[in-house]
Structure 1
């Protein structure tokens, strides 16, 4: 065995004798590594010219070995791993021996690799997530094979996972360093490519990860997006230990580490990654896909499909922390109406409350709020309120949320005295204090912010407390959605008002690369009791645990779907809620980073996502807000929001300077809402993405694997926003196919095909301040509807279809339609599903399911055809010839419209057309390619082999 390692070492040596950086896996990730400390750990030390590569790395056999034969189980196989005779990692974190490995074949494309202590019960996330499906037997024909090193007294354990069909090795842990101790667990693996995406929540410059020795910590933290702090890439509000890897042939796989303890992942150019976590078990789930979209479908099937938002939840939403009083809110709503800007949802941030206390209304500044909400709801709008988890304890008069919660004993407990709740400080102010807003933050926290307790949302009586107060408050204020914030959970003092004691949870032997300086910074002591265990284990589950009871209470009290969206999230949160990308800043690079955030949360199964339009922190400018409103019109969750002391930035501000642009962009959004709503139906039922990377649709084009300044709505709409200050053009990439302008500054160009885009290329598109490039992909039918100022009224308008033909003259699409807000229209079959198919110059509109009838019945009024070789003749609608006056040629560039229709949405329809015979061959070939190819073959055969045809 020594000879084997010597051979490996020689192979890895560079000509100068140094060990190649790419085979180095860090054995001393803490600060302060020295050669002696490294050698004491049983590792190798060698200098390197790369300051990012480790000097201390694993080399000799380290970790565990396989003992005894691998055993068959109902779901797969089981191996026993025993410690090798190597130094313990930490003297105060006992190594587990033995470790059990279960390899489970759940489905043909999903496997599980679980490393655990079979002798001691350790915390497992899965126990808190009962909706995750249990496997019942071994998959009969898996598309993967798992190899485990054979038993040996000296050979280190490793495993590999191989895609059977291609031979691609997806995982290979033979690089060493496997560790399983009480508070330090680590495993490293080589990867099949450098195309890695996911992990969160973080701010990044690119969607595709940089593999150049980057470390990403994961632990939910009240931290705004921004550049690295003290050398740490910031861990933000959510925790998503899930990544996607695209293999060199375009196949893809995803991996979830189902663990909620503080962790980090290290990416290195080998390519490889290392997982390190400080508790729980190593519970990996791998999903093999034909491509990225297939992986997301499998992942959401496992963690839970995304919730179906109400139709109005796709409308434009407006909020500001610190309107100041109800009069200002009234004026903003009226201005939006006066300018004719679509506006579906108005918000109440924490200033609507009395001293920021949940389930209260400021009796002075927001007197009359319930009546105002009733009025805007009659006008077709909706109202959403914020709720924070922390509850004040310092009231001089009885405060029911606190007294009732205390009676039910629902608070997180102090780890040093389990009979008492942990006490911190968050938003609520002391009663009878005068707040000086000019004071520094620390002064405010000390002198103004009241003591607070924190609900345990895992508590058996949480519905009786949290749910009942939501229902009681609804009797006062008829909200339509709930925004749950500060639920990392946030604490304005570190740990508690008395700090944290010296215990192993608040002072772990290893601190992952998360924002500190302590693990309890800006949150609760880790030894507090939460969810029946230490907060150390369940901290990153806090926001997730709040989402489900919040959704349940909202639906019960309103009888409708409503929307719940939260700041702190964890895998499966998308089943219950949406997410906004947190407290971003009014600066130009945050436009681009918002696209990366949307793509990330699409991978995480949370398609209802968006950033604060125009920025939360700092003051926006007219140009920045102008461009951001254009981009934000294409966020699935589209909301303009900023902070208390920020200048107003709603679309009618700046004397209406950006009002026209905001109105135009939002009217485009509202016109396309039937298509967007259908995408959410597909996400809810099939697990597909809504906003998606270009590579999801064009995996054969490797250039798309690194594009993140453009994005798709579904498969059919390409959005290429302006992201740079002063820019009047966009460099947009068009993958192979036919692409059409959705609209342009010159309306005569609507539907015009993008020249020179057919084979896949980048084009510079002129784009002044009135422009955001949107293109439709050939081969798709997009349902549209007339826009209005709210979805209540737009849903009553006539429908249209955009038919964008592909190279074969074909296209398809679908439309999902229900009442827009009932809780389970899909389960009760109370919806319409309509498909659209174009082939051989025939459009078939087919009602596949007809369980819902709108009142009044909707009509198709307009059909637009893009990419036609010429103006049609002999157009028929349901067998009847159409008068020529109904055919409107909008341009000379292969676009025609059929207008003035009145076709019931609830019936099947057939539209046919013919192209005149004198159309040029090139044009006809696109309209009738199959017939022309057959005819051409026949002519050739007749000429060359006449005897054969005869």
Structure 2
């Protein structure tokens, strides 16, 4: 009878959660703020309710330390136990970073230690600490109590106000504030307790009960950004780039922005609801002051309110009235306060400061920056071979073919269905012979099957996450009954990484890379389709404390495994759906299970831009939409904008109609081919930008205001974006659009990428919306590298020549860069690369070496040449181009030119100058 019951339960779960029945977001599956007790409690607090004051303020080990104690009983808490002092530590680091930690006092008895997220802050960050020697204590303004002042830089200082407790950063000369915490007195820190008889701590949602063995342990506080017009960041949400207020006058029944990694299929655009990733990092920007940032290193569920103007009108709290500001309210279920204040003052400064804490984006292999073709699922080896050959037949380049879960033996990862894929190594080698690669999926759920070697070993070694009773957690996912490895444990991550060796992953080859899906983690029969909060991890950590970082550790282990597989010199490629702060160090992400509709196309742009602002440069959305069947016009428009995503992949659900680019008629095939070729033409630009991101953290694609920080018209625009500092791309997001309005910022001109036509900056232009492209413009004053030969993959392009497109500004000047390395290894870290800076000034183009001059440089050689130099906006009609060294002349033309198959006018072209990309040279236009 028990066997029959289990069978019936399994059948019911398969029917409920089978891929074919997952069609829309079921709102009732997920909690709102009122159903989330810590969020409801926090939102009910009134400004000024925090009674904490800072005492015993001193310097210890180079930090400001203090105790936070209540000045008077907290009216919002009726605790029977006395509140223990909290321990505060404030540290200062180079580059304009201040760190604040608030935790329970470790010298006092406590049921357990609160979780502090490990392995996110990069090695070496602590070496940037500025050791405080002494404190300056003074009364600020009209305060009757003292504040302690710490040095941040020559321009900024941190202030700890003792009574009432508050922390803020201010400019030294003006005294103007930049960032503050607890200015509205909303800080609340629920301390761990030992359960006593009669305590009712359990929480229930639907049929699930959370035992909450340590009681309520949430933290909440307010953060204010001064001189700000808008705030951005805190992905992942399908919303506008500029975050909209969630509380305040005229805002009724709005939810806070939720950060809780969840498998939310067909998520709804313009919703603050959390989806697959969580990065608690917010950036503010305004014309008055510039940019600042705030990061809370905490992996528990978080809810964040953006507070509309006038939200605190009745509080009676007076803040500096001369400064415009945006107020926010941060709430988390557990953890500690481990907060970082970034003082900017520019947009790129804040991103660099954040990256110095969480690490730079990984440098991808060249192939990974090209076009990827995916579907759930390519059926078998014959299907793979047919799709591959069709790309060649239709002369469409691509670099990667993907296999979803159906390629495995019964959803057992690291295996192959030997009926459908009997010769996986040969299949991969055929692709590799054309310079192409394959990606297979490896999810975190492990099928509970004693004949499956991964499960048998993980079970024997005790490597699974435990349930609240201490048994291996048993959840339900694609394979049925499944368990989940405890990736918080470094030993288990190392063990997992070993599974990617060619010996262990039988059927894999060096051209095979990995896709981590469902790693929120997704659990079909769990609360909110994820793991219970009281499940237990390494060191007794509750799942509630690290939930948002689970996928991060899984991504980390997989990436490290591919590096070990390649003997440490093969850059990994791993795509992850779940993400957290620091995920940029391990690979690419995408925006999850979107839908084939215009709203999802529209929201993909701010989603990708927001990820870039928070360190994750390598991101994109499923081109065409994962769910549903796009009409050809939508699919074409998606390819046209997707060609400019950092991660460019077509993907679809297995219930959708096949949608490879050649299935929609000759004209649509031509349009999609043209979009994909545009990406390949611009790969030198993208690869150079990925290197810039790897060094500085500045994203590949950027909001307009990152490049034009003083242009207020750009602050809330997110239908257009910059690719680096040189290209502006405007999406078309409406069906049968005849015209599109494009705002071109700045005072200089912009040149149409296809025709070379010049448009004035600082204006909105109403343009035709032809079917064959989305508007894209090169900024005057930039030099853009590209490759114009059409090949079937990036491997075939290695020795191809380059074209430089020089867009001259009003001073007849321009600059640009080109970065080249071997496209696959880590030798670039040892100096094996070419990095050139091109400068056009006073009629002369100069190529300068930007490679670091270190004794450890390894030679990297390229015989590639420049075959063409195009000058846009050149004044006059020169007749000669003189090349030095060598005193050589190059052919020069002035007049109509075919740019990517389209006729242009007013363009000067230097043909076949015959100069090597790696050399120093000058070309004088006479």
Per-residue deviation at 1:909? 1.3
Asked whether the 8 Å contact 2:373–2:649 carries over to 1, the reply is: yes
Query: 2-side partners of 1:248 and 1:619: how far apart?
Result: 43
Does the C-alpha gap of structure 1 residues 718 and 566 become closer, same or farther in structure 2, counting only changes over 3 Å? same
Unpaired stretches in structure 2, ≥5 consecutive residues:
1-31, 133-150, 192-216, 249-253, 310-325, 898-903
Does the C-alpha gap of structure 1 residues 611 and 854 become closer, same or farther in structure 2, counting only changes over 3 Å? same
Query: 1-side partners of 2:468 and 2:401: how far apart?
Result: 41
Pairing 1:877–2:883 present = yes
* Corresponding position of 2:454: 401
Asked whether the 8 Å contact 2:414–2:506 carries over to 1, the reply is: no
Does the C-alpha gap of structure 1 residues 233 and 740 become closer, same or farther in structure 2, counting only changes over 3 Å? closer
Does the C-alpha gap of structure 1 residues 357 and 233 become closer, same or farther in structure 2, counting only changes over 3 Å? same
Asked whether the 8 Å contact 1:196–1:208 carries over to 2, the reply is: yes
Does the C-alpha gap of structure 1 residues 536 and 777 become closer, same or farther in structure 2, counting only changes over 3 Å? same
Does the C-alpha gap of structure 1 residues 172 and 388 become closer, same or farther in structure 2, counting only changes over 3 Å? closer
Pairing 1:77–2:109 present = no
Equivalent of 2:222 in 188, 193, 214 = 188
Alignment of 1:25-36 (within 5 A): 30=34
Query: 2-side partners of 1:281 and 1:199: how far apart?
Result: 18
* Corresponding position of 1:862: 868
Deviates more, 1:627-636 or 1:795-804: 795-804
Query: 1-side partners of 2:729 and 2:861: how far apart?
Result: 33
SS in 2 for 1:272: strand
1:206-252 Cα deviation digits (max 9, x unpaired): 444346545111111111352389xx832111111110011342511
Pairing 1:204–2:239 present = yes
Per-residue deviation at 1:468? 2.2
Query: 2-side partners of 1:538 and 1:238: how far apart?
Result: 13
Alignment of 1:377-776 (within 5 A): 377-395=432-450, 398-416=451-469, 418=470, 420-428=471-479, 449=480, 451-463=481-493, 465-471=495-501, 472-478=503-509, 479-494=511-526, 520-532=527-539, 533-558=541-566, 559-744=569-754, 750-754=755-759, 757-758=760-761, 760-776=762-778
Pairing 1:898–2:890 present = no
Query: 2-side partners of 1:32 and 1:732: how far apart?
Result: 43
* Corresponding position of 2:46: 58
SS in 2 for 1:654: coil
1:265-298 Cα deviation digits (max 9, x unpaired): 1111133111111211111101111211211111
Query: 1-side partners of 2:81 and 2:363: how far apart?
Result: 46
TM-score by length of 2: 0.83
Query: 1-side partners of 2:559 and 2:386: how far apart?
Result: 31
Unpaired stretches in structure 1, ≥5 consecutive residues:
1-27, 44-53, 429-448, 495-519, 745-749, 915-950
Per-residue deviation at 1:75? 3.5
Asked whether the 8 Å contact 2:729–2:777 carries over to 1, the reply is: yes
Query: 2-side partners of 1:32 and 1:631: how far apart?
Result: 38
Per-residue deviation at 1:94? 6.7
Alignment of 1:902-941 (within 5 A): 902-914=914-926
Per-residue deviation at 1:883? 6.0
* Corresponding position of 1:811: 814
How many residue pairs match? The answer is 803
Asked whether the 8 Å contact 2:246–2:308 carries over to 1, the reply is: yes
Equivalent of 1:797 in 797, 800, 803 = 800
Does the C-alpha gap of structure 1 residues 897 and 32 become closer, same or farther in structure 2, counting only changes over 3 Å? closer
* Corresponding position of 1:286: 341
Query: 1-side partners of 2:913 and 2:427: how far apart?
Result: 40
Does the C-alpha gap of structure 1 residues 255 and 225 become closer, same or farther in structure 2, counting only changes over 3 Å? farther
SS in 2 for 1:658: helix
Query: 2-side partners of 1:32 and 1:409: how far apart?
Result: 32
Asked whether the 8 Å contact 2:243–2:306 carries over to 1, the reply is: no
Deviates more, 1:289-298 or 1:674-683: 289-298
Pairing 1:159–2:210 present = no
Query: 1-side partners of 2:182 and 2:598: how far apart?
Result: 41
* Corresponding position of 1:222: 263
Asked whether the 8 Å contact 1:113–1:285 carries over to 2, the reply is: yes
Alignment of 1:102-141 (within 5 A): 102-118=89-105, 119=108, 120=110, 122-129=113-120, 131-132=122-123, 133-134=125-126, 135-138=128-131
Query: 1-side partners of 2:728 and 2:328: how far apart?
Result: 33
Query: 2-side partners of 1:855 and 1:849: how far apart?
Result: 13
* Corresponding position of 1:86: 73
Does the C-alpha gap of structure 1 residues 228 and 86 become closer, same or farther in structure 2, counting only changes over 3 Å? farther
Query: 1-side partners of 2:766 and 2:366: how far apart?
Result: 35
1:730-757 Cα deviation digits (max 9, x unpaired): 211101233443443xxxxx22211xx2
Does the C-alpha gap of structure 1 residues 884 and 468 become closer, same or farther in structure 2, counting only changes over 3 Å? closer
Query: 1-side partners of 2:36 and 2:90: how far apart?
Result: 37
1:893-921 Cα deviation digits (max 9, x unpaired): 5420001222122221110013xxxxxxx
* Corresponding position of 2:331: 276
Does the C-alpha gap of structure 1 residues 702 and 167 become closer, same or farther in structure 2, counting only changes over 3 Å? farther
Per-residue deviation at 1:772? 1.7
Does the C-alpha gap of structure 1 residues 90 and 484 become closer, same or farther in structure 2, counting only changes over 3 Å? farther
Query: 2-side partners of 1:793 and 1:650: how far apart?
Result: 22
1:547-569 Cα deviation digits (max 9, x unpaired): 22211111221341131120111
* Corresponding position of 2:144: none
Deviates more, 1:301-310 or 1:246-255: 246-255
Does the C-alpha gap of structure 1 residues 96 and 628 become closer, same or farther in structure 2, counting only changes over 3 Å? farther
Query: 2-side partners of 1:648 and 1:862: how far apart?
Result: 40
Deviates more, 1:760-769 or 1:68-77: 68-77
1:92-127 Cα deviation digits (max 9, x unpaired): 897742122222222251001222111346334343
* Corresponding position of 2:140: none
Per-residue deviation at 1:809? 1.3
1:677-707 Cα deviation digits (max 9, x unpaired): 0111111112211100010010111111111
Task: Give the CA RMSD over aligned residues.
Answer: 2.6
SS in 2 for 1:131: coil
Asked whether the 8 Å contact 1:691–1:711 carries over to 2, the reply is: yes
* Corresponding position of 1:49: none
Query: 1-side partners of 2:60 and 2:290: how far apart?
Result: 29
